[in-house]
Amino acid sequence: MRRLILAILIGFMAPSWVLAESEEGPKLQNANVDLNDRVGLQNGARLFLNYCVSCHSASMMRYNRAAADLGIPESKMKANLMFTTEKIGETMTVAMQGADAEAWFGIRPPDLSVIARSRGDDWLYSFLQGFYADPTRPTGVNNAYLPNVAMPHVLWELQGIQRPVYGTEKDETTGKSVQVLEGLETDKPGKMTEVEFKKSLRNLVSFLVYLGEPAKLVRYRLGVAVLLFLSVLLVAAYLVKREYWKDVH
Q: Which of 35, 60, 114, 150 binds ligand HEC (CB under 6 A)?
A: 150
| Triad 122, 123, 126: Cα angle to 5° | 85
Minimum distance from residue 224 beta carbon to ligand HEC (Å): 29
70 CB burial (10 A radius; 0-12, 13-18, 19+): buried
Contact code string over 55-84 relative to ligand HEC, x by CB under 6 A: xx----------------------------
- The C-alpha atoms of residue 10 and residue 18 are separated, in whole angstroms, by 13
| Contact residues for 149 (Cβ-Cβ < 8 A; gap 6+) | 131, 141, 142, 143
Q: Which of 105, 120, 156, 181 binds ligand HEC (CB under 6 A)?
A: 105
Q: Is 124 in the site for ligand HEC (CB under 6 A)?
A: yes
Minimum distance from residue 241 beta carbon to ligand HEC (Å): 55
Contact code string over 187-226 relative to ligand HEC, x by CB under 6 A: ----------------------------------------
Cα–Cα nearest to 60, from 221, 208, 203 = 208
Q: Which of 119, 134, 158, 199 binds ligand HEC (CB under 6 A)?
A: 119
Contact code string over 7-46 relative to ligand HEC, x by CB under 6 A: ----------------------------------------
18 CB burial (10 A radius; 0-12, 13-18, 19+): exposed
Q: Which of 6, 68, 107, 225 binds ligand HEC (CB under 6 A)?
A: 107
Q: Is 155 in the site for ligand HEC (CB under 6 A)?
A: yes
User: Are the CB atoms for 54 and 94 separated by under 8 Å?
Assistant: yes
User: Are the CB atoms for 198 and 155 separated by under 8 Å?
Assistant: no
Cβ of 232: how many Cβ atoms within 10 Å? Answer: 10
* Interacting residue ranges for ligand HEC, rule: CB under 6 A: 51-52, 54-56, 105, 107, 109-110, 112, 115, 119, 124, 127, 149-152, 154-155
